[in-house]
Structure 1
Amino acid sequence: MKTITRASRRDFLKIAGTTAGGLFIGFNWFGCDSPKVEVLSTEEILAQAKSFNAYLSISPTGDVVIYSPNPELGQNIKTSFPMVVAEELDADWEKVRVVQANLDTEKYDRQLTGGSGAMPHSWERLRKAGATAKHVLVAAAAQTWNVSASEITVEKGIISHKGSGKSGHFGEFVELAATMQAPEEVALKDKNDFKIIGTPVKNVDAKEMYTGVPLYGLDFYREGMMHAMVQRAPFGMKIKSLDDAGARAVSGITDVITFGTSVAVVGNSTWPLMKAKKLLRVEYEPDGNVESTADHDRIFKELIANGKAEVRRKDGNVDAAFKSAAKIVTAEYQCPFLAHSPMEPENFFAHVQADRCELIGPTQTPDRARQAAADILGIPKENISVEITRLGGGFGRRLRADYVEEAVHISKAINAPVKVTWNREDELTGGAYRPAVRYKFEAALNESGEMVGYKLRGVGMNAGNSTRENNFPSGAVDNVLIESVNYESSITTNAWRAPITNFLAYAEQSFLDEVALEAGKDPVAFRLELLKRAKTNPVGELGYDVDRMISVVETARDKSNWGKDPNVKQGFSVYFSHRSYVAQVANIEMVSGTPTLKKITAVTDCGIVVNPTGANHQVRGGIVDGMGHAMYTNLTFENGMPKQRNFDSYRLVRLKEVPEIETHFVDSGFDPTGLGEPALPPTGGAIANAIFAATGRRLRSQPFIEQKEFSDIKLEIRRA
C-alpha cells in the first residue's frame, strides 16, 4: 500500500534555468514539507558542495549530490541517509555523491549524532525529498515527450516511455522540471518495491579512509595555524601555583597561557608541545570534593541502603506483595566509571577574529559547540561557523564541547588560529566518563513461582535517573517499585554508548536469571511468561512493544538451539533501548577442561534494515564493545585523578578475544529505529549468565576479570 504525503506549492522555489542548468531540491528538516526546486549550473552545484545546505541536487550530467547533515562517527548515517533519498528518487547509486553538511540550524533540525535517533527522525523527510524530485522530473519528461506521466517509468536514473521508445537520464530534464508546479500530493513507494534500501552498500567514505584522504579532525591543517595542548586539573582541584619556565624554554614553544583550571602550551607543532607539557610544574589545591574510588564504594553502600530516593514508578501494593511472598530474591550489582576511548582523541580548530569565529572539527553536537563559543566570546552565535569533519569515534564523548571551548579560549588569547590536540592520556584523564552505578534488585515469588513483586533502586554518580522505569519487566508484574538516587560527584560524567542501559541491562538480565533459578524455571521461558502476562494483562504504562520483544526472544531461542545441546552452556539476555529490540545468547563449551566462550548469537528488530552491511557492523561492534567493557575495563580514581592513564593499564578487548558472532534481523515491517547502541546493553548479561550456567559462579560487578568469583575460572575465548 502506498503512502500519500502532501506538499504545498509554496514549498517549491521555481527559478528559470539556462541550458547548463541543474535541478536543486531543498528540503526543510523541521517538518515534512516537500522539497524546493531551483536551477543551478554544474559549476554552481560543485561550488556548493562545500557549503551548507539541506538538499539533493541533480546536475545536467545526471549526477546526484546529497548533503548529509548529521555528524558521521561510524554509525554509517552518511551512507544510509543518501540510500533513502536515492531509493525514492530511483537514482543510479553509482551516480550519487555524498557531501558532509556544515552547521545550519535554520535549515536542519536535530543536526546531531546521539541516542541512535538520526534515522528514525529523518526517515520520512528523506523519502519525501527523493519522491518529490522524481515526481517533478517525470512531469518534465511527460511534457517533453507529450505523453502521460502515468505511462513513464524510472529506473537507475533513467526516465523511460515504453510506448514511444523514448528515454533519457535525469539531467536532460532538470531545466524544464525547475519550472514545473509542485504537486499537491506525492506518493511514497510501497516498501515491497525498494531496490536500494535493504541491499548491502559499502561506506561512501571507504575509499578515502583506506587511501588516507583527509577526513578526520586530526587530518585538518591550515597554513599558519598554531598548535596547542592542555594540562587539566584533577577533578575537584584548582591551580595553586604554576612554574612554566621549563616549558617556555623548549624550542618551538611560543606561549604558555592559563584559563580556568587549565594550562595550555602553544607552539608550531605537536612534538615540542608534548615535551613542554611534561615540563610544566603545576601545584593544585582542593576546590570542592576530591574523590577516590574508595570513597565511591562507601557512598554507594550508604545510598543504596538509606539514600533519599525519587520514586520513578509504583504499581500495585508492593509492601503487601513482599510481605506475603513465598520467596524473596535479592541481589546488588555495581559498575565502574568508564572512559569513551574513541580511536581519535579530542581535537578542534578555532579561529577567533574580532566579532567572528570559525570552528572546524569532530563534534556530535555542532550547535552546542557554536553556543559554547558564543558564550565565551560574547558574540551572536550567528557569527560563528562550524564545519564538521568525520569523527574517529565518539560514543557520547563528543556530545560535550569542552575541547571546543579550549580551542576558543586559546585562539582568543593568542589572537591567532589554533588547533588543540589531546593525546591518549588526556583522553583518559581529562574526559567525561560513564557514571559509576549500583543497583539493588528484589523480587517476590508466590507459591507457583510467579514474580508478583519487583523492586529496583539505582544509585548513580551524576547519572540523574539511573533507571528506565517503563522498560521490561515493568508492565509484566502487578506490584512494582522503582527508585533512583543521584550523587553529585566532582568527576564529570557524560552519556556513554547506550546511556544507563549499557549497565542496567546486564544487571537486570542477570537478576532475572537469578529469579528464574529460584522459581525453578528455564530463563527464556520465564521471560516469555512475563512478556505474555504484559500482553494479556498489562500493568501501568508499557515503554516497549510486547510483540516485538517476544519475537526477538523466540527467534534467538530458535536460532541458538537454546537448551538442545547438553555440552553447550548458554546464557540469555534481551533488551529494548533506542526504539529497538535485541536478544542475545552466549555459548560456553568445555575445551580440555576449560570453559570457553565460543559464540554469541544476536537477533535484532530495528525495523526496516536500510543497509544490511552497515546494520551487521553496528550489531557486531556493539557486541564487541559491550563484551570488552563488561569483562575487562575499569577506571579507578585516586585524589581526583584516574589511575589508568593509557592502554597499558586501561584494558580494552583484543581481537583474539572476540568469539564467533552470528547476527539475525527480524523483518518486522516497522520504519527504521535506532541501531548504533541497542546491541551493546544485552551482551554483558548474556555472557554473565552463560558463565553461571557453565561454572555456577554469579558475577554481580564489572569488570568480570577483577571479581573473585571469576579469578579461578580461567575462561577462554576462541574464534571460530
Structure 2
Amino acid sequence: MSTRTSIPFSRRAFLKSSSLASGGLLIGFNLFTACKPKAVESPMDLSSLDYQDFNAFIKIAKNGAVTIFSPNPEIGQGVKTSMPMIIAEELDVAWDMVHVEQGILDTQNYTRQVAGGSQSIRFGWDALRTTGATAKQMLINAAAARWGVEASECTVSEGVITNAKGDTLGYGDLVEEAAKLETPEEVTLKEPKDYKIIGTGKVNVDIDEIVTGKPLFGLDYKTEGMVYASVMRPPAFGQKLESFDATEAKAMPNVVDVIQVGDKIAVLAKDTWSAMKAKKALKAEWKADTKLESSEDHDRILKGLLNGNKFETLRADGNVQKAFAEADNVLERTYESPFLPHNCMEPMNFFAHVTDEKIHLVGPIQTPEGTAGRIAEMLERDANDVHLEMTRQGGGFGRRLYGDFAIEAAEISNKARLPVKVVFSREDDMADGIYRPAIKYRIKASVKDGQITGYHLKEAAINSNMYGLIPNFFPAGAIENYQVDVAKYDSNITTGAWRAPYTNFLAYAEQSFFDELFEMMEVDKIQMRLDLLEKVKGTTDERIQYSPERMQEVIKTAVEKSGWGKQADGVYQGFVAYYCHNSHVAEVADVQIEGGMPVVKKVTCVVDCGIVVNTLGALNQAEGGVIDGIGHAMYGQFGFDSGMPTATNYDKYRLIRMQEAPKVTAHFIQNEYSPTGLGEPTLPPAGGAVANAFKAATGKRIYKQPFMENPEFWRLSDQPILG
C-alpha cells in the first residue's frame, strides 16, 4: 500500500512562483536538443525542420527537436502543461527543452477532443503515458539495433540512450531508424517513485505569450479579407424577429453588409467597433411567440414542483416515509439558487469561412468535434469538408461546450460568402447566454434513537437534465432509508453546464443541512461525518462512486491543517466535505466579524485527486475553485424580467472583488491513485463552508443564494456596510 502525506502550498508562494492555466487533451512540444548530450540555451526555428512521425502525437526531427500535438481544447484548466508533462515523463526528456503545440480537430487520430467535466487528465492518463513510453522504446530499439546489442542493455536519461559500454546516442540521432520500426505491442511504464517531472511544479507553457500579448486566443485571430460580425439577437427569450430597418446602419463607415440569419441580424464591418456601433443603429421589431418568463414565474413554478408529486425517482433505498413516521425528530429545509451567467473573461467569438471547397473554422470551443458535426449537418456538407483549428480560450466553465456562436459564424459566412468572425460584446455574452439553471432543493431527514434513519432529497429545476450522478454521491449508502427525487420545468430560457454542474449549489444545500441536522442531534459535526462514512466501508453497491476511506482522510487532514476547534477567540469556522468529479475535498472557512459583518478571512482546502501531475497547476485550480465558489455563493444574483436578463454587464452583476478574496491554503493528499478531476471539485464545497462559518459567527442560517443579496440580514451592529 502506498504511503500518503499532504503537500502544503501557500497562496503567497503560489503568487510568487506564477500561475498555470490551460486545458486541452494531448500535447505538442519540442524537445529541442535535450535529445542530445548538449542542450541549446534558446529555442530554434522549428518551421523548416524535417520531422518523422512516431504517431499522431509525437514528431522528432533529426536535430532532436520533438513536437507533440495537443488535440484537446485549452480553456484554462492546466492540461496544456500537465499533459505534456505526462508524455515527457515517459518519453524521458528534459522538461526545459519541451515546447507545446495545439493540435487541430482530427477525428481519425484523436478521441475525446473535449474540455469538460474535469476529465481530461483522468481519461488521458494511461494513453498519454503509453504514448511517451512507446516512442521511447522505439528509439531504444533503434539504438540497440545500431549497436548490435539487446534493447534491455540500454538505458535512457533526458533523451540520451546509453549502452553497457558507455556509448551514447541522442534521440535526434535515431529518428529516421526508429520511425521505420514496428510499434511495440507492450511497453513498461514508470513507477511513481521514479517520476522526475510528474509531481513537480511547472509554469504554464503559454505564459510568455499571455504576458506579452502575443496571439493565442480566439479574439486574436485574423486573416486576409476577414470581416467582423456584430449580431443583434432577440432581446428577450421567447421573442422572434418581425421586421427590421438597416438603412442607417448600412450607411455608416466601414460597414460591409447587413444580413438576416433566422431571427438574428448580423452587421458585417471591417472592424469590431464599426460593427458594434452600426448594430446600435439597427431598428428592429420583435414579437413574442410564447410566454415571456420572469424570475417570479420560476420561483412560483419551482415551489409548486417541490410541493407536488410529479417526480422522477433516481434512487430509493429502504422506506423513507416509514422512517419519517417512526422518527423521534424530523428536520426539513428548502434551499434556493438563481440562474447564473458564465462571464468568461474572453467573450464568445468564432471565425468561419465557408466556401465550396471547405468549411474553415477557427476559435475557442470546448467541443470541437460535436460543433463541427453540427455545422456540417446545418450546411448539408460532408464532415470531411470541415477543418477546425482550436485557439486558447479565455475561460470556458461550460459555456463553450455548446458551440452556438460557432454555428452562428458559419451560418453568416455561408450566407455572406465571406470570411467572418463573430464577436460578442459583454452585453451580448450575458444577454444571450446558456445559464446555470435556477434550482430549489428540499431536504428532509429523520432521527431515531440518536441515529439518522431517513434522508429524502427533492430537486426542482429549470430544464434540469444533468442530475444522473447526484443520487450516488454521499450520503448514498450511509443511510438505510435514502431517496432522491427530481422534477423539472421546461423553459425557453437556455440553460446548461456551469462550472461543476448542479453540485455547485447542491454541495452548499446538503452540507449546510448536515450542519443544522448535527446541531439538532447535538453530536460532533466531524465525528458524525466519519461515522456515516464508516457505514459505507465494504459496500458491494457498485452505484456508490465515492471512497469512504479517501473521504475520511481528507476530513482528518482538513481538521489538522485548519486547526479546527483551536482557533483564537473571534475566529469562527465552518466545515464541509464533498465528493464530485471523481475527487474528494474537505474545506474549512475561517470567518471574523469586521464592522459588524462576517468576513471570510481564510479557507483551508484539502484535496485527494490522486497523483498530482503539476503542483503549480493543481494549486491554481484549487485556489481558483474556492474563490469562484465563494464569490458566486455570496454575490451572484441573476434572473429574468419578461424574458430579459436582469443584468447585462458588471454594473448590475456582482462578482467577488480582489480585496474580498480570502487567503486559501491548499493541501493535496499524496498517493499513487490515478489522477482524477481538479478543475471543478473545490468549487462546490466553498459555499457550504462559508455558510456554516457564517452561522457560527452570527447564529443565523440562510437558505438562499446569494448570501449577500440582503447584507442587512448579517449585520450585527449599527456600523455602515462598506460597498
- Out of 585, 606, 611, which is 1:608 matched to? 611
CA distance in 2, matches of 1:594, 1:56: 56
Counterpart in 2 of 1:84?
Answer: 86
Is residue 344–residue 396 contact of structure 2 (8 Å, CA) maintained in 1?
yes
CA distance in 1, matches of 2:119, 2:467: 20
Is residue 152–residue 160 contact of structure 1 (8 Å, CA) maintained in 2?
yes
Q: Scaled by the length of structure 1, what TM-score is found?
A: 0.91
Counterpart in 1 of 2:299?
Answer: 297
CA distance in 1, matches of 2:404, 2:74: 20
Does residue 1:695 correspond to 2:698, yes or no? yes
The amino acid across from 1:580 in the alignment is S
Structure 1, 207-216 or 703-712: larger mean CA deviation? 703-712
1:338 Cα offset (Å): 0.4
CA distance in 2, matches of 1:509, 1:48: 58
CA distance in 2, matches of 1:48, 1:275: 48
CA distance in 2, matches of 1:592, 1:398: 41
User: What secondary structure sits across from 1:505 in the alignment?
Assistant: helix
1:280-679 alignment to 2 at 5 Å? 280-354=282-356, 356-448=358-450, 450-466=451-467, 468-535=470-537, 541-565=543-567, 567=569, 568-591=571-594, 594-679=597-682
Counterpart in 2 of 1:225?
Answer: 226
Does residue 1:167 correspond to 2:154, yes or no? no
The amino acid across from 2:126 in the alignment is E
The amino acid across from 1:434 in the alignment is R
Does residue 1:258 correspond to 2:260, yes or no? yes
1:185 Cα offset (Å): 2.3
- Give the direction of change, closer, same or farther, for the CA distance of 1:47–1:698 in structure 2 (3 Å limit): farther
The amino acid across from 2:57 in the alignment is Y
CA distance in 1, matches of 2:452, 2:54: 55
Counterpart in 2 of 1:71?
Answer: 73
- Give the direction of change, closer, same or farther, for the CA distance of 1:121–1:169 in structure 2 (3 Å limit): same
User: What secondary structure sits across from 2:408 in the alignment?
Assistant: helix
Structure 1, 418-427 or 265-274: larger mean CA deviation? 265-274
1:593 Cα offset (Å): 5.7
CA distance in 2, matches of 1:476, 1:191: 33
Is residue 459–residue 466 contact of structure 1 (8 Å, CA) maintained in 2?
no
CA distance in 2, matches of 1:184, 1:294: 62
1:708 Cα offset (Å): 6.4
User: What secondary structure sits across from 2:459 in the alignment?
Assistant: strand
Is residue 307–residue 485 contact of structure 1 (8 Å, CA) maintained in 2?
no
1:537 Cα offset (Å): 6.3
1:176 Cα offset (Å): 2.4
Structure 1, 167-176 or 641-650: larger mean CA deviation? 167-176
Runs of 4+ in 1 over 6 A off after TM superposition: 42-45, 537-540, 714-718
CA distance in 1, matches of 2:528, 2:720: 29
- Give the direction of change, closer, same or farther, for the CA distance of 1:386–1:634 in structure 2 (3 Å limit): same
Is residue 477–residue 539 contact of structure 1 (8 Å, CA) maintained in 2?
no
User: What secondary structure sits across from 2:392 in the alignment?
Assistant: coil
Is residue 302–residue 440 contact of structure 2 (8 Å, CA) maintained in 1?
yes
- Give the direction of change, closer, same or farther, for the CA distance of 1:74–1:713 in structure 2 (3 Å limit): farther
User: What secondary structure sits across from 2:471 in the alignment?
Assistant: coil
Counterpart in 2 of 1:705?
Answer: 708
CA distance in 2, matches of 1:44, 1:273: 38
Counterpart in 2 of 1:21?
Answer: none
The amino acid across from 1:471 in the alignment is F
Counterpart in 2 of 1:5?
Answer: none
CA distance in 1, matches of 2:419, 2:551: 52
Is residue 509–residue 688 contact of structure 2 (8 Å, CA) maintained in 1?
yes
CA distance in 1, matches of 2:320, 2:512: 22
Structure 1, 243-252 or 303-312: larger mean CA deviation? 243-252
- Give the direction of change, closer, same or farther, for the CA distance of 1:454–1:520 in structure 2 (3 Å limit): same
The amino acid across from 2:244 in the alignment is L
Is residue 52–residue 101 contact of structure 1 (8 Å, CA) maintained in 2?
no
1:144 Cα offset (Å): 2.6
1:716 Cα offset (Å): 12
CA distance in 2, matches of 1:59, 1:342: 38
Is residue 558–residue 605 contact of structure 2 (8 Å, CA) maintained in 1?
yes
1:576-625 Cα shifts (integer Å, max 9, x gaps): 11111111000113457653321000000000000000000000111111
1:49-60 alignment to 2 at 5 Å? 54-60=56-62
Q: Scaled by the length of structure 2, what TM-score is found?
A: 0.90
CA distance in 2, matches of 1:103, 1:610: 25
Does residue 1:245 correspond to 2:247, yes or no? yes
Across the two proteins, how many residue pairs are aligned to each other?
679
CA distance in 2, matches of 1:539, 1:429: 44
1:659-703 Cα shifts (integer Å, max 9, x gaps): 110000011321011111111110000000000011011121111
1:403 Cα offset (Å): 0.5
Structure 1, 272-281 or 119-128: larger mean CA deviation? 272-281
Is residue 45–residue 59 contact of structure 1 (8 Å, CA) maintained in 2?
no
1:258 Cα offset (Å): 1.4
Counterpart in 1 of 2:145?
Answer: 143
User: What secondary structure sits across from 2:472 in the alignment?
Assistant: coil
- Give the direction of change, closer, same or farther, for the CA distance of 1:487–1:616 in structure 2 (3 Å limit): same
1:211 Cα offset (Å): 1.1
Higher relative contact order (CA 8 A, sep 6+): 2
User: What secondary structure sits across from 1:649 in the alignment?
Assistant: coil
CA distance in 2, matches of 1:606, 1:263: 46
Does residue 1:215 correspond to 2:250, yes or no? no
- Out of 675, 681, 691, which is 2:684 matched to? 681
1:297 Cα offset (Å): 1.1
- Give the direction of change, closer, same or farther, for the CA distance of 1:272–1:86 in structure 2 (3 Å limit): same
Is residue 596–residue 716 contact of structure 2 (8 Å, CA) maintained in 1?
no
1:106-158 Cα shifts (integer Å, max 9, x gaps): 11110010011111111111111111111121222223334443332211112
Is residue 465–residue 486 contact of structure 1 (8 Å, CA) maintained in 2?
no
Structure 1, 66-75 or 698-707: larger mean CA deviation? 698-707
Counterpart in 1 of 2:13?
Answer: none
User: What secondary structure sits across from 1:583 in the alignment?
Assistant: strand
User: What secondary structure sits across from 1:589 in the alignment?
Assistant: strand
The amino acid across from 1:579 in the alignment is N
CA RMSD of aligned residues (A): 2.5
Is residue 569–residue 589 contact of structure 1 (8 Å, CA) maintained in 2?
yes
1:412-449 Cα shifts (integer Å, max 9, x gaps): 1111111110000000001110011000000001122x
Structure 1, 534-543 or 669-678: larger mean CA deviation? 534-543
Structure 1, 601-610 or 265-274: larger mean CA deviation? 265-274
CA distance in 1, matches of 2:720, 2:471: 36
1:539 Cα offset (Å): 7.1
Is residue 53–residue 104 contact of structure 1 (8 Å, CA) maintained in 2?
no
Counterpart in 2 of 1:122?
Answer: 124
1:656 Cα offset (Å): 0.9
CA distance in 2, matches of 1:280, 1:712: 47
1:620-652 Cα shifts (integer Å, max 9, x gaps): 111111111011111111111102010111111
1:178-193 alignment to 2 at 5 Å? 178-193=179-194
Instruction: Note the residue ranges of structure 2 that are not aligned, 5 or more in a row.
Output: 3-24, 27-43
User: What secondary structure sits across from 1:186 in the alignment?
Assistant: coil
The amino acid across from 1:201 in the alignment is K
Is residue 246–residue 283 contact of structure 2 (8 Å, CA) maintained in 1?
yes
The amino acid across from 1:61 in the alignment is N
Counterpart in 2 of 1:96?
Answer: 98
- Give the direction of change, closer, same or farther, for the CA distance of 1:179–1:260 in structure 2 (3 Å limit): closer
- Give the direction of change, closer, same or farther, for the CA distance of 1:180–1:248 in structure 2 (3 Å limit): closer
- Give the direction of change, closer, same or farther, for the CA distance of 1:73–1:463 in structure 2 (3 Å limit): same
1:711 Cα offset (Å): 4.6
